[in-house]
Amino acid sequence: MADLTGTWRGRLDRSGRVVIKTGRMGLGCVTMIALGFTLAGLLMILGSSMWSWEWMIGILSVGFFGVLGLPLFASQFVNPDRLIVSQSGVELKRGWPNSRTNLGQLAWSGITDIETVEVPAGSGTSSHTVLRLTPEAYAHIESRDSDLMAALRKTERDLIDGPGMALPTTLKGGAEPITAFLRETWQRFR
């Protein structure tokens, strides 16, 4: 972790900004899993009679993983999520299909704390870097939400225990190094 945060610190000091993108290795693994489920669904469709349970599960698998999942994951290779860290603040630019949820730059003064939060996920938990926000910064984010994003934001607020923004878990480096780097940078420039 110290090596990664040191690398990012050096980049920030040299160029004035650091861009942390979606990790390609994890994205490749998820893409392969979606491809496997799509192929399994095709085999279920071809190997069963129409309207049987196996056929319907195959249709759902191909529809969800093949029609929805594979284009989404492929688009992330071309246009990944990016966290841009500069001396003036942070900016999260989402890749397609979330590109409309880009929030613009969030000044360091709009952040009250940065921490790693464990959020329930499946049978365990997943680590998220969470930016705790001032009421003004949070209101700015909420004002840009669609109806769907507003519902998701309420769920996010409940999961992270207050007003804030959880960064995507797919960002390269993972939650702990990103939290350490952002916390250090926030303390330097707020």
DSSP line for 19-45: EEEBPHHHHHHHHHHHHHHHHHHHHHH
Q: Which two tokens stand for residue 26?
A: 């994890």
Length of the chain: 190
Spatial distance between the Cα atoms of 145 and 4, rounded to a whole number of angstroms = 33
pLDDT category at 102 given cuts 50, 70, 90 is low
Residue 24 CB coordination number (10 Å): 14
- The whole-number average pLDDT for the span 45-65 is 94
More confident site: 184 or 159 = 184
100 with 93: CB under 8 angstroms?
no
Q: Residue 74: is its pLDDT beyond 80?
A: yes
User: Mean pLDDT over residues 125-137, rounded?
Assistant: 90
Determine what percent of the chain is predicted with pLDDT higher than 70.
92
Q: Which residue has the tokens 């040191």?
A: 6
Distance of alpha carbon 68 from alpha carbon 63, whole angstroms: 6
Burial class (CB in 10 A: 0-12, 13-18, 19+), 85: buried
User: Among the residues of 16-133, which ranges form H helices?
Assistant: 24-46, 53-61, 70-78
Identify which of 17-26, 58-67, 135-144 has the greatest average pLDDT. Answer: 58-67
pLDDT at res. 36: 95
pTM of the model: 0.76
170 three-state secondary structure: coil
- CB environment 166-187: b (16+ within 10 A), e (fewer): bbbbbbbbbbebbbbbbbebbe
Please give the structure tokens belonging to residue 159: 């999961």
